[in-house]
């Protein structure tokens, strides 16, 4: 994988919202949080964006602590997405 965001990435705002909450961002739980993150990551400017670049954008947008690097955010998002798929969330 080259890290390019595909259509399924746009279906993952729930995973991104969960990761952002893990690092202390005040993202609402449930549909409101999913909608907030979904709005940001599904803009036309974000289409085709690599997951790492999306993580950089979210880190800047939410002023995330540098201890949580974009690499870590993108990797953790993928882990959360798998966990959610396995649990049926």
Query: Does the predicted TM-score (pTM) go above 0.85?
Result: no
**pLDDT at site 4:** 46
CA 73 to CA 38: how far, in whole Å? Answer: 16
**pLDDT at site 6:** 46
| Residuewise pLDDT in 10s, the chain (89 residues) | 444 444 445 447 888 999 999 999 999 988 888 888 888 888 888 877 888 888 999 999 999 999 999 999 999 998 988 888 888 76
**pLDDT at site 89:** 60
């Amino acid at each position: 994988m080259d890290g390019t965001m595909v259509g399924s990435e746009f279906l993952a705002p729930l995973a991104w919202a969960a990761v952002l909450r893990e690092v202390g961002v005040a993202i609402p739980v449930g549909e409101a949080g999913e909608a907030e993150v979904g709005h940001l990551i599904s803009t036309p400017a974000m289409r085709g964006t690599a997951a790492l670049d999306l993580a950089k954008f979210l880190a800047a947008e939410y002023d995330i602590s540098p201890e949580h690097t974009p690499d870590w955010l993108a990797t953790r998002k993928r882990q959360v997405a798998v966990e959610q798929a396995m649990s049926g969330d």
